[in-house]
Structure 1
Amino acid sequence: MTRTVYVNGDYLPETEATVSIFDRGFLMGDAVYEVTSVLGGKLLDYAGHEARLARSLSELEMTNPVSAEDLLEVHRQLVIRNGIENGLIYLQISRGNAGDRSFVFPDASVPGTVVLFTQSVPDLETTPASQKGIKVISFDDLRWGRRDIKTVQLLWPSMAKMAAKKAGCEDAFFVKDGMVTEGSSSNAYIVKGNRIITRPLSNDILHGITRATLLKYAAETQYEIEERAFTIEEAQNADEAFVTGASTFITPVVEVDGKAVGTGAPGPVAQRLRELYIAEGKKAAI
């Protein structure tokens, strides 16, 4: 089935969608993105993604060519037109096409490029990774310093994913100055007793939307939240470890650099939090 995608105001078959070779997202990685999950045909945590998109654009001195109301309608239309029950909507906004290649930003009159498309994920609630957990390796964090801006500069995370795959694992924990920053496409956590430990917000990590919602639910469920950096060794010796992301929710980590975490199987805290996140997310979905 050919998907319907959105490009600069038009709904098109994916086979007919095009973007200029001079677009700065293509030439410079000068673009931001968001991924919103869809469960039961509704959008999860949409307000958070909308707010983070606005922040990312502002930090890069970009404007959104689409109003907030219209952007929500585009998301809803893509869900309907593609018959998405469970899945994802990818949104990307670049600084646009100035007609040639230049390091200098184009004039503000040049409109940005807006692209959205869907991905159907029927088992989004019960993915194999959520049932079995994932294995991760440690990987040097050599990304640029503004990881709090959700840009399309994903080459290093892709290299981390590939290194993990070659090692027979599913993902990587980035490490900077001996401390875990986050996963290659997720926020990272460990569990010790009743404490959930995760790195505090800063320019070093993405300000995860799932992270914010998860920590809110966890605090309401009487878990103690400790925001600090932790080491790979701490992760290996924790009771549990897990990651969060918009497309993966809460996913247990069962092995770090070849050493089992806890029992080597998904732990009760991660499982409980995943169930809570999905249940509450569905109630609040739009």
Structure 2
Amino acid sequence: MILVQDQLKDQSEVRIDIEDRGYQFGDGVYEVVRIYNGQYFGMDEHLERLERSAKEIHMTLPYPIELLKTRLEKLAEANDINDGHVYLQITRGVAERTHQFPAEPTPFLVAYARKSPRPENKMREGITAITTEDIRWLRCDIKSLNLLGNVLGKQKAMDAKCDESIFIRSNDIVTEGSSTNVYILKDGEIFTHPANNFILNGITRRVVLELAEEAGITVHEKTFNKQELMDADEVIISSTTMEVTPVISIDGKQVGTGVPGKVARTLQEKFNERIDKLQSVKN
């Protein structure tokens, strides 16, 4: 079952119009929400960010957030999702293909749920990454459907037999990964790019910063350059699907000792405690 507007429907019954602006312009916004133990993780924060993204592109959500929350919960139940995720997108709707907004837009909502395991091997063993130029637009804080720059970055990593591309702007500043936020650890302190228009303020990123504070680790939301990235004691990425994952090699160069570090392990343990709380709420 999938969610279309505010109704659950069989996927075979659904058709997308070729003049939907999401299909023709990428004119829309989206969210991905993780489900652990049958419970949504950070649902409120994801939906609040969805609403913000919509406002930033001058679009109004077609339904109140509380109704969306209820429908998404039913969607997960209908698909019997215990561990997985939900993808939700809202476009400006169907209209004749002109660049300007339609006079009377009708936003179109679609969401689906999928079972997906946690990336336990990558979290345990660490991943490899490459660096590449950040060619994306200047509003990366909006979770829009325009992801071609991210797609090209991810494919470049895949072609290099790595897991992630870490983006670097023309001023040599590291921003984030193609689908993740990036952190470096130096002399016991964490550095990560400020949550401005150059990065997406990830929901998992917010949790990571909270967990670091709980662990007594100093966090600086401050820019750092490529050399500082390469010289870091630890490098960590985070996202809804990758959770908290260590990076053990960048551009073929070993990060730190070449194995997941102590801070990464600490954050992972604390993240698992947050997940365990969902189970206790469920019971």
Same fold (TM over 0.5): yes
- Secondary structure at the aligned position of 2:200 is classed as coil
> 2:101 corresponds to which letter in structure 1?
F
- 2:105 maps to 110
Alignment counterpart, residue 83 of structure 1, candidates 80, 85, 92: 80
Distance in 2 (alpha carbons) for counterparts of 1:105 and 1:246: 31
Aligned residue for 1:213, secondary structure, equals helix
Aligned positions of 1:157-168 closer than 5 A: 157-168=150-161
What stretches of structure 2 of length at least 5 have no aligned partner? none
C-alpha contact (below 8 Å) 1:138/1:175 kept by paired residues: yes
How far apart in 1 are the matches of 2:151 and 2:57? 23
> Is 1:150 aligned to 2:147, yes or no?
no
Q: Which runs of 4+ in 1 moved over 3 A?
A: none
Aligned partner (choices 37, 60, 65) of residue 63 of structure 1: 60
State the one-letter code of the partner of 2:9: L
- Structure 2 counterparts to residues 1-286 of structure 1, below 5 A: 4-98=1-95, 100-107=96-103, 109-121=104-116, 123-124=117-118, 126-176=119-169, 177-283=171-277
Paired residues of 1:45 and 1:281 also in contact (CA < 8 A): no
Deviations for 1:9-49, whole angstroms, at most 9, x for unmatched residues?
33222233221111111111101000100000000011111
Tell me, in whole angstroms, the C-alpha distance in 1 between the residues paired with 2:151 and 2:122.
18
**Conserved? CA contact 1:236–1:255, under 8 Å:** no
Q: Secondary structure at the match of 1:150?
A: coil
Q: Matches of 1:215 and 1:150 in 2, distance apart?
A: 20
DSSP 3-state at the match of 1:79: helix
TM-score by length of 1: 0.94
SS at match of 2:176: strand
TM-superposed deviation, 1:282? 4.1
Cα distance in structure 2, aligned partners of 1:215 and 1:17: 40
In the alignment, the residues of structure 2 paired with residue 72 and residue 281 of structure 1 have an alpha-carbon distance, to the nearest angstrom, of 19
8 Å Cα contact 1:34-1:53 kept in structure 2: yes
Describe the shift of the 1:282–1:90 C-alpha distance in structure 2 as closer, same or farther (beyond 3 A).
Answer: farther
RMSD (Å) for aligned C-alpha atoms: 1.4
- Does the CA-based 8 Å contact 2:6-2:71 persist in structure 1? no
Secondary structure of 2:211's partner?
Answer: helix
Identity %: 37
CA distance in 2, matches of 1:223, 1:195: 6
What is the deviation of 1:197?
0.7
- Aligned-partner SS, 1:27: helix
Structure 1: which amino acid aligns with 2:105? Answer: V
Code of the residue aligned with 2:98 in structure 1: it is S
Question: What whole-Å deviation, never above 9, does each CA across 1:161-190 have from its counterpart, x for those lacking one?
Answer: 111111110110000011110000111001
**Structure 2 residue identity aligned to 1:164:** A
The 3-state SS of whatever aligns with 1:151 is coil
Q: Answer whether contact 1:137 1:172 (CA < 8 A) is retained.
A: yes
SS in 2 for 1:37: strand
* Stretch of structure 1 that moved more, 46-55 or 32-41: 46-55
TM-score by length of 2: 0.95
- Secondary structure at the aligned position of 1:111 is classed as coil
1:229 aligns to what SS in structure 2?
coil
Contact kept in structure 2, 1:179 and 1:231, CA below 8 Å = yes
The answer for unaligned runs of 5 or more in structure 1 is none
